[in-house]
Structure 1
């Protein structure tokens, strides 16, 4: 990490409370780097992290008179102001690189958290990791732009649910059969409920089979005794 915005994004990625972070003027720093961190390849942050920032790298006009050599009065006040100002700068820095899509995804996630899609959706979105949520939000935005499709549902399944096969019934064009080669648990059930509700449009109906595959005539692999489900 070299830039302030990189540190902020890493904090958010790890779920670290930003208010616990302390920004500090370093005693020694490189004129070619913004962050003065112990390890150049540092990738993780922790609660209560002290981040030393070179204020002259990008914010010289703000801090040019802040730490003059002959300025000895009120050192604690200046340190606290330094910390507060950089908290504001860090927030703006993290937002300045945000694309229109990322901004819309942030608003969409806020709607999910505030139960705009229902309480079950709010609870279910917490079952996914941060990267998985990013993928879901991108899919929801694409759905708003292009409309719902079974291909989008299949993409979500492929990315988020391991060991699955999605079938489109030949007998009923509105029936979707999903096989998941894992034992059902509350987390998996919650994830599947969310994906079906968000990405399968009416009048399609989804049947989900866990652990054991359903039998398909003429397909020997699916017709093993005690290893199939009748549907």
Structure 2
């Protein structure tokens, strides 16, 4: 990490509270780098970490009078102001590179956290990691623009639920059959309920089969005794 915005994005990626970071003026720093990290290739932030920032790299006009050699008064006050100002700068720095889509995804995620889609949806989103949540939010935005579709649901399944097969029933055009080659557990059930709620439109109905595949006439691989479900 070399820049302030990289610190903020890494903190968010790790799910750490942003106020757990302390920004500090370093005793020694390079004029050619913004961060004065002990390791140039540092990628992980630690809880209660102290981040040393060269304030003159990009923010000289703000901090040019903060740490003059002849300035001896109120050192603690200046340290705290330095920390608070950099918290604000870090927020702005992280937002400055956001596209319109990223901004809309941020608002949509906030809606999820504010129970706009219900308490179950808020709890289910927490089961996905950061990259998975980004994929879900992108899918929801695309759905708002183009309308829901089975292809979008299949994309979500392929990206978020390992070892699954999605079938569209030939007998009932509104029936979707999903096989998941994993044992049923609460986390998986909650994830599936969330994806169905958000990406499957009415009047479609989804039947889920965990661990054991259902038998399909004419396909021998699905007709193994004691290893199929009758539906």
TM-score (norm 2): 0.98
For 1:134, the equivalent position in structure 2 comes to 134
1:179 CA displacement: 0.3
Runs of 4+, deviation exceeding 3 Å: none
1:119 CA displacement: 1.6
Alignment of 1:61-140 (within 5 A): 61-140=61-140
1:166-188: per-residue Cα shift (whole Å, max 9, x none)?
Answer: 00111111111000001100000
State the SS of the aligned residue for 1:225: coil
For 1:200, the equivalent position in structure 2 comes to 200
State the SS of the aligned residue for 2:77: helix
1-side partners of 2:20 and 2:169: how far apart? 54
Count of matched residue positions in the alignment of Structure 1 and Structure 2: 231
For 1:160, the equivalent position in structure 2 comes to 160
Unaligned stretches of 5+ in structure 1?
none
For 2:37, the equivalent position in structure 1 comes to 37
1:168-213: per-residue Cα shift (whole Å, max 9, x none)?
Answer: 1111111110000011000000000000111011111111000000
For 2:221, the equivalent position in structure 1 comes to 221
1:71 CA displacement: 1.4
2-side partners of 1:15 and 1:202: how far apart? 35
- Work out whether 1:176 is the aligned partner of 2:176: yes
1:73-93: per-residue Cα shift (whole Å, max 9, x none)?
Answer: 222221111111111111111
2-side partners of 1:115 and 1:47: how far apart? 28
1:145-174: per-residue Cα shift (whole Å, max 9, x none)?
Answer: 111011100000000000000001111111
